[in-house]
Amino acid sequence: MLTFLRRRILSSALPLLVVILGVFALARLTGNPASLYLPLNATEQMRADFTEKNGLDNPIWVQMAEYFGGVLRLDFGESLRTGESAAAMALRAFPATLQLAGTTMLLAVVLAVIVGSWAALKPNGIADRISSFISMAAASVPDFWLAIMGIWVFAITLGWLPTSGVGGLDAWVLPILTLLLRPFGVLVQIVRGAMVSSLSEPYIKLARSKGASEFRVVTRHALRNAAAPALTVAGDLAVGLVNGAVVVESIFGWPGIGKLMIDSILQRDFAVLQAAVLLTAISIFILNILIDLGYAGLDARVRPTGKPRKASKTGKATAAPAKERKLHVQTTP
Res 190 pLDDT > 70: yes
Out of 14-23, 133-142, 238-247, the most confident range is 133-142
pTM: 0.69
Q: Which domains does the chain have, with CATH numbers?
A: 93-268 (1.10.3720.10)
Give the separation between CA 197 and CA 191, rounded to whole angstroms. 10
Distances in whole angstroms, Cα of residue 162 to Cα of each of 39, 142, 159, 210, 288: 36, 21, 7, 54, 34
CB 148 within 8 A of CB 251: yes
CB 173 within 8 A of CB 202: no
- Per-residue pLDDT reduced to its tens digit, 234-276: 777 887 777 767 778 888 888 888 888 888 877 777 788 888 8
Of the two residues 155 and 325, the one the predictor is more confident about is 155
Res 319 pLDDT > 50: no
Give the separation between CA 42 and CA 40, rounded to whole angstroms. 6
Angle between helices 86-121 and 223-252 (to 10 degrees): 140
Of the two residues 36 and 328, the one the predictor is more confident about is 36
Res 321 pLDDT > 60: no
116: Cα separation from own chain's centroid: 22
Q: Note the residue count of the chain.
A: 333
* 328 half-sphere exposure, CB direction, 13 A CA radius: 14
Instruction: Kindly indicate the confidence band of residue 181, based on its pLDDT and cuts at 50, 70 and 90.
Output: confident
CB 234 within 8 A of CB 109: yes
Q: What number is the average pLDDT over the span 60-79?
A: 77
Res 207 pLDDT > 60: yes
Of the two residues 40 and 142, the one the predictor is more confident about is 142
Out of 5-19, 176-190, 314-328, the most confident range is 176-190
What is the percentage of the chain residues whose pLDDT exceeds 90?
Answer: 0
Res 15 pLDDT > 80: no
Average pLDDT, the chain: 75
Q: Give the closest residue to 88 by CA, choosing from 282, 273, 272, 278.
A: 272
Longest CA pairwise span in the chain (Å): 87
Instruction: Kindly indicate the confidence band of residue 311, based on its pLDDT and cuts at 50, 70 and 90.
Output: very low
Burial 6-17 (b: 16+ CB within 10 A, else e): eebeeebeeeee
- Give the CA dihedral 118, 124, 129, 135, nearest 10 degrees: 60
Q: What is the DSSP secondary structure assignment for residue 315, as one 8-state letter? A: S
pLDDT of residue 284: 79
Give the dihedral sign, CA 19/21/26/27: positive
CB 239 within 8 A of CB 225: no
DSSP assignment of 88-121, as one string? HHHHHHHHHHHHHHHHHHHHHHHHHHHHHHHHHH
Res 165 pLDDT > 80: no
Which of 21-30, 58-67, 160-169, 233-242 bottoms out in mean pLDDT, i.e. has the lowest? 21-30
Of the two residues 36 and 134, the one the predictor is more confident about is 134
pLDDT of residue 295: 64
- H or E element at residue 202: helix 202-209
Give the separation between CA 246 and CA 164, rounded to whole angstroms. 14
pLDDT of residue 237: 82
pLDDT of residue 301: 55
Q: In terms of DSSP H, where are the helices of 167-222?
A: 170-199, 202-209, 214-216
- Per-residue pLDDT reduced to its tens digit, 32-46: 676 666 666 667 777
Q: Give the closest residue to 332 by CA, choosing from 191, 190, 210, 193.
A: 210
Give the separation between CA 303 and CA 28, rounded to whole angstroms. 43
3-state secondary structure of 311: strand
Give the separation between CA 248 and CA 332, rounded to whole angstroms. 42
pLDDT of residue 309: 47
pLDDT of residue 302: 54
CB 304 within 8 A of CB 4: yes
